[in-house]
């Protein structure tokens, strides 16, 4: 990547303010998935092993500038301590005299975790005073929170106005992997885009269409494209207001010689619930009282064939209501198809990552992006605030 990373500097004895993404799912005070914590370990371990004083900052949830007890980072600090094999102290503030005193007494190689940055109104407002106060704790800023890089917040972008900013190892990995999709993908290049709404992914669909050879569409958004082809979709989730946009994408693909695959058949039921009777119908024959809840076996065969013959594949969004057993077949078959690709594979988006975990095939995918919305904005071709503030590598 063109941005300078922590490999480009001597961090010994440096106070490193490291923005990480520990926005992990919680239930009853317990972390249900520590993947984002694990993803940050290489950067934290790199800094600590080289004698840096590591000051970690993260958000958790959406407290909207107020202290929400259940969104404190104590459980995160405990889990991080277990994973690092060392004690990680969690402070109860992000700024202030007590934080400054503690940080000034840190020894090289030690790690501290600040409190949830979104407890402070200045974080999401990118308040210069709040950013300056955080910057005063450190000598350098390390951004390893790619998942929050699309936010121009104080701890992701504003702080870089006051201390030099470098990419962490996860940030470097994300930018290089996603950049590889945009800049020089080995062909054929296939994008598999699922999820609920066309409106959520319209920009990335348009940008990828200029770059891919094949575009495979599934999930609820496929119903909007089926409507654009003149098909009735019964009670299926769809966006009638986006039909013209979907039709324009199909027309542009045809003119550009790009292949767009839509489901030729679908799994339908009266509701997306376990135990309801489900059946397979052709895409143009969805009954008025039914919902399309997964791609059908014919579509799966076409999609798998396209993916298996590709050299680069990007997947974002499930192909059906994969949380419910009768409607997860298409999504799990796609996971298996990606695992069998001999080229470069990238999976992004929380639901897609969950499907990969469910399939037990995470080790077969080249890059699992932690970015979510940041990944999509990057692939839209947009500049991410948390990336643009990083120092350019000479």
With contact defined as beta carbons under 8 Å apart, do 16 and 52 qualify? yes
Q: Is 36 a catalytic residue?
A: yes
HSE, side-chain direction, 13 A CA sphere, residue 192: 36
Choosing from 36, 72, 90, 328, which is the catalytic residue? 36
Q: Dig out the tokens for 332 from the structure.
A: 């799990």
Letter string b/e over residues 75-114, b meaning 16 or more CB atoms within 10 A of that residue's CB: bbbebbbebbeeebebbeebbeeebeebbeebeebbbbbb
- Is 350 one of the annotated active-site residues of the chain? yes
One of 51, 109, 179, 350 is an active-site residue; which one?
350
Check if 349 is active-site.
no
Identified catalytic residue from 179, 343, 373, 381: 373
DSSP state for residue 156 in the 8-state scheme: T
Which parts of 212-320 fold into alpha helices (H)?
220-228, 243-255, 297-308
Q: Which of 180, 197, 270, 301 is catalytic?
A: 197
DSSP-based three-state secondary structure for 204: helix
**Side-chain-facing half-sphere of 74: CA atoms under 13 Å:** 8
Query: Which is nearest to 391 in space by CA: 177, 234, 178, 161?
Result: 161
Q: Which residues are the active-site residues?
A: 36, 197, 350, 373
């Amino acid at each position: 990547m063109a941005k300078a990373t922590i490999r480009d500097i001597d961090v010994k004895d440096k106070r490193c303010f490291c923005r990480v993404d520990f926005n992990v799912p919680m239930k009853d005070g317990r972390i249900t998935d520590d993947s984002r914590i694990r993803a940050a370990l290489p950067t934290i371990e790199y800094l600590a092993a080289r004698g840096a004083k590591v000051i970690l900052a993260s958000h958790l949830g959406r407290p909207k500038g107020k202290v929400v007890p259940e969104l404190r980072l104590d459980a995160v600090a405990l889990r991080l301590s277990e994973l690092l094999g060392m004690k990680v102290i969690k402070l109860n503030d992000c700024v202030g005299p007590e934080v400054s005193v503690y940080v000034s007494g840190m020894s090289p190689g030690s790690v501290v975790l600040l409190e949830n940055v979104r407890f402070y109104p200045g974080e999401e407002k990118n308040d210069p005073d709040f950013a300056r106060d955080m910057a005063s704790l450190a000598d350098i800023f390390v951004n390893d929170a790619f998942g929050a890089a699309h936010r121009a917040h104080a701890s992701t972008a504003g702080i870089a106005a006051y201390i030099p900013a470098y990419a962490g190892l996860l940030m470097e990995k994300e930018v290089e992997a996603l950049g590889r999709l945009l800049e020089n993908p080995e062909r054929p290049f296939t994008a598999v885009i699922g999820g609920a709404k066309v409106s959520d992914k319209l920009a990335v669909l348009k940008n990828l269409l200029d770059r891919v050879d094949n575009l495979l569409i599934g999930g609820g958004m496929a119903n909007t494209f089926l409507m654009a082809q003149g098909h009735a979709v019964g009670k299926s989730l769809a966006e009638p207001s986006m039909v013209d946009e979907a039709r324009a994408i199909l027309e542009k693909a045809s003119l550009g010689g790009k292949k767009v695959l839509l489901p030729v058949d679908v799994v339908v039921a009266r509701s997306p619930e376990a135990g309801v009777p489900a059946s397979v119908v052709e895409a143009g024959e969805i009954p008025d009282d039914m919902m399309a809840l997964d791609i059908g076996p014919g579509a799966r065969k076409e999609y798998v064939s396209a993916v298996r013959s590709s050299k680069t594949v990007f997947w974002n969004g499930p192909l059906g209501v994969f949380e419910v057993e009768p409607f997860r077949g298409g999504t799990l078959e796609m996971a298996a198809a990606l695992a069998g690709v001999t080229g470069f594979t990238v999976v992004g988006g929380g639901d897609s990552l969950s499907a990969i975990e469910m399939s037990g095939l995470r080790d077969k995918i080249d890059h699992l992006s932690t970015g979510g919305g940041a990944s999509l904005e990057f692939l839209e071709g947009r500049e991410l605030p948390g990336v643009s503030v990083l120092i350019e590598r000479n």
